[in-house]
Amino acid sequence: MIMARLCRLSNSLSVRVPRVWPVLLFALFVGTGLAVGSGASKERADSPEQPQFLRLLRESRAPYHTFATRFVQHKRLAMLDIVLESEGMIFFRRPGSVRYEIISPVRSLMIYDGKKVRCYAFSEDKWNLLNNPGATAIGQVLRQIGRWIQGDFDADRKMFELEAVPADDGGGTIHLIPRSKALAEYIQRVEIHVKKVGDSYRVAQVIIRESDVDLTDMRFRQELNNQPIPEGTFTSPAASEACQAAFPPEDCCDPNETEKPES
Amino acid sequence: MRPAIWSILIGLLVGASGCLCPPSLGEPVEDTARRAALLASYRPPQVQRVVYRTVLRSGGREISLAEVVKRSPEGGFSVAGVTDIGNTLYAVQIDPGGKGRVISKSLPFSDRWLLDHLVKELLIPWNGPQETSELYRLPDEGWALIHEEDRLADVFVFDERENWTEFRLLAGGRLQSRISLEWDEGSTPNVMRVDNRDKHYRVVRERVSSTP
């Protein structure tokens, strides 16, 4: 199982990538493009008798070859009795190119161009390429992200219990519960909140519960589907401004209005 | 001059120049007014919470994180390091007496490494020179207030304008770590650069925000 291998790989690094990385990335990227059918009170989405869940997800994402979304992330640290807020954006292009960028309050960037992952920190007024010890592991995670976005959870069934809990408004929540004690030490549960918008579904919020009191809350907005991706998005930190400009003003029209999904 | 001070001064010179040069600081300077002025120039940060953007370089590897320092009303600290995607890299509590406790960590370093080095260096702005520190004149101009205890020496370096610009920790006369401080209008440093020669890592911290 690739996730388990990633965790072992991370453990062997001299500066270890936290083992929640794969989970957080998982939640982030699944959270931007998940679709789910509603109607059941609580379904084991990973059980062999519920294959329609994965089928629906795969089918719903099939038309989209690119997407981008903004997000606001709140990190609640009970020990410090504070909430840290950050904002960022994510870009994805099939089969597996990814740009994950934090815009404020501190700028950082992780890009995967299909071959290599690069991590940057904006420090001392410039982008600095980091020799991140977790780059190899991150690269593997990013490759897997492509499969997740396409609705392929086959590799993760042994890692998580997946439950679908419908809501009255037509949306619902997906619960991802770690099966292993090792992973459960770092994360209790991931909640993916799905909102029904018209005839389609989109994920509005992802909550990662590290403990009873510590959590990371991500809220997504302005998802762009099959919209043009700025040059250098998956290769260069210099594309940051162009990527930010790809999102129209929030009080403007729906950027996906003219969207024509490719088959 | 006491032998221990000699070793400190040697360490200072090594720290300043990178080579082992003959010590030339001489005896502590008996300048009561200067010493009092330097002690008075230190102002403990009047902030409840500070966030730093941190880049840690160790053994050719680099990670970036945000570090948060929160002061408790009792005088202790809560300190946490959070990765860019929001998960907790470490969380530490320091009681008012200075005793630290690691709440959680997902770094491959020991609790002692975390408490005695990374977090201790982060909290340097809150730990100013002691009243018993002795005054020394530095060879490259500027002044130092030095306090020695149990073979450890805290060295606070001031420039000619009495600005605190650097902290050095010496162990047995050997330079263990060196922290340069850059100030703006805030009561905490705008930038802190750590060169920890003992544990072979470097850190650059840039203040992101502070809450009075």
Distance from CA of A261 to the nearest CA of B (A): 30
C-alpha atoms less than 13 angstroms from C-alpha of B191 in its C-beta half-sphere: 8
Instruction: Please give the average pLDDT of every successive group of 10 residues along chain A, which has 263 residues.
Output: 34 37 40 33 52 61 84 86 87 87 89 88 89 70 56 66 78 82 81 75 81 86 90 95 91 63 47
- State how far residue B179 is from chain A, nearest Cα, in angstroms: 16
Task: Name the token pair of B73.
Answer: 């009303």
Q: How many CB atoms lie within 10 A of CB B56?
A: 22
| CA A139 to chain CA mean position, Å | 14
Segments making up each domain of chain A, as ranges: 2-241
Running DSSP on this structure, what letter comes out for residue A238? G
**Which residue from B83, B84, B108 is facing A14, i.e. has the nearest CB?**
B108
Strands B49-58 and A108-112: unpaired
Omega before residue B212 within 30° of 0, cis: no
Tokens representing A203?
């994920």
The predicted structure's pLDDT at residue A152: 61
Chain A with chain B: Cβ pairs closer than 8 A: 116
Please say if the pLDDT value at position B36 is more than 80: yes
A240 at interface of B, judged by CB pairs closer than 8 A: no
CB atoms within 10 A of CB A13: 16
Token code pair at residue A100 = 């994950």
Look over chain B and give the mean of its residue pLDDT values, rounded to a whole number.
85
Binding-site residues on chain B for chain A (CB distance < 8 A):
49, 51, 53, 55-56, 58-64, 66, 68, 70, 78, 80, 82-89, 91, 93, 103, 106-108, 191, 204, 206, 208-209
How far apart are the C-alpha atoms of A85 and A218, rounded to whole Å? 10
- Asked whether residue B3 carries a pLDDT value surpassing 70, the answer given is no
AA letter at B99 = K
- Angle in degrees, 0-180, between the axes of helices A135-149 and A2-11, rounded to the nearest 10: 160
How remote is the C-alpha of A80 from its chain's centroid? 26
Distance (Å) from the C-alpha of residue A61 to the closest C-alpha of chain B?
24
Measured from the Cβ of residue B16, the count of other Cβ atoms closer than 10 Å reads 18
Answer whether B55 sits within 8 Å of A106, measured CB to CB.
no
Q: What is the ipTM of this complex?
A: 0.72
Is A104 in CB contact (< 8 Å) with chain B? no
> Residue A108: enclosing H or E segment and its boundaries?
strand A108-112
Model confidence pLDDT, tens digit, residues B57-116 = 988 888 888 999 999 888 899 999 988 767 788 999 999 998 999 988 877 778 998 999
B166: closest CA among B16, B22, B27, B1?
B16
Containing structural domain, residue B112:
1-212
Which tokens belong to A153?
Answer: 């959870």
| Total of domains in chain B | 1
Task: Decide: residue A177, CB within 10 A, 0-12 exposed, 13-18 middle, 19+ buried.
Answer: middle
Q: What tens digit of pLDDT does each residue of B157-170 get?
A: 999 888 899 999 98
Determine the distance from the C-alpha atom of residue A114 to the mean position of all C-alpha atoms in its chain, rounded to a whole number: 17
Residues of B in contact with A79 (CB under 8 A): 78, 80, 91, 93, 103
What are the chain B neighbours of A73 within 8 Å (beta carbons)? 85-86
Residue B87 and residue A133: Cβ atoms within 8 Å? no
Contacts with B, A 201-220, CB within 8 Å:
208, 210, 214, 216, 218
Q: What's the CATH architecture for A2-241?
A: Clam (2.50)
What is d(CA B1, CA B42) in angstroms, rounded to the nearest whole number? Answer: 27
Average pLDDT over residues B178-183: 95
Q: What is the CATH number of the domain that holds B12?
A: 2.50.20
Sequence-separated (6 or more) residues with CB below 8 Å from residue B71: B47, B48, B49, B77, B126
Residue pair B208/A106 in contact by the 8 Å Cβ criterion: yes
Residue A15 and residue B108: Cβ atoms within 8 Å? Answer: yes
Phi and psi (nearest 5°) for B209?
A: -155, 160
Pair A197, A226: CB distance under 8 Å: no
Residues 6 or more apart whose Cβ sits within 8 Å of residue A197 = none
